[in-house]
Amino acid sequence: MKAQLHYFRTAVVLAVALCLQLMAGPGFAQGYDVPTELKGLGFGLGISMSADVGRQSHVVQATNVNGIVRIKETQDVIVGFVLETHYFFAQGRFRSDPFGMNPLYDREWGTGPFVAIELGGANTTGNNNPVSAYALGWMVGFREAPKIDPTTKKPVFSNLSWNFGLGLRVDPGAKVLGDGIVANQPLPPGESVTEVRLKSSPRYGLMVISSFGF
């Protein structure tokens, strides 16, 4: 028990020390040109994962089995490619080398709103429009760490950033069961087709984005 308590205290001390280092001010070596902070308008390319917040599933395929509606495939968690544009407000720098072994690797970071379009999501099958959804939300970005030029031995600062965002996803053409059709219930009178009737309906969900900004 005493040994476990000792390890726990050591872990707490190390965690506190790490947090203090992350909150420390900029530690760039003197004599180097530090780039402007991560702020302003930018663009990014990445991937997204979305989940619908409604009760009605996105239906990919539903069939008629002996007069009963059976849903064969749904798609409520959607993965797609995204193109996004953001506007960052500079938040300063954080120490990406927490123990201060190389102060050149402090990074700029910023936060701000973004808008995005989703490509290749749920409703693009058989559709000439490659855009499956739109999103609006808030994003945080971290500039890529600098690299050392082998010739000059000086750091080369990048304009690239790694961004994470959370936003509201709007799917204007989601497929759901048609009017009057209920899963696991008999088809409406007069309908006897093999493929159950579907309709397009706007749906809303949450989108998580990871993108590379440039």
**Domain boundaries defined on the chain:** 37-213
Mean pLDDT by groups of 10 residues along the chain of 214 residues: 47 50 42 61 93 78 85 84 93 63 66 93 62 94 80 78 94 86 84 79 91 90
* pLDDT score recorded for residue 112: 95
Q: Which amino acid is at 70?
A: R
pLDDT at 105: 56
Q: What's the pLDDT at 176?
A: 86
Q: What pLDDT, on a 0 to 100 scale, did the predictor assign at position 4?
A: 43
> What pLDDT is attached to residue 9?
52
Strand, helix or coil for residue 105: helix
Question: For residue 9, what is the enclosing H or E element?
Answer: helix 2-22
What residue type is 188 in one-letter code?
P
Instruction: Give the pLDDT confidence score for residue 165 in this predicted structure.
Output: 96
What one-letter code names the amino acid at 213?
A: G
Taking a C-beta distance cutoff of 8 angstroms, is the pair 165, 131 a contact?
A: no
Q: What pLDDT, on the 0 to 100 scale, is given for residue 5? A: 42
Give the pLDDT confidence score for residue 196 in this predicted structure: 84
Looking at residue 45, what is its pLDDT? 96
Give SS3 for 190. Answer: coil
CA 30 to each of CA 27, 92, 103, 144, 214: distance values in angstroms, whole numbers, following the listed order: 9, 18, 10, 20, 27
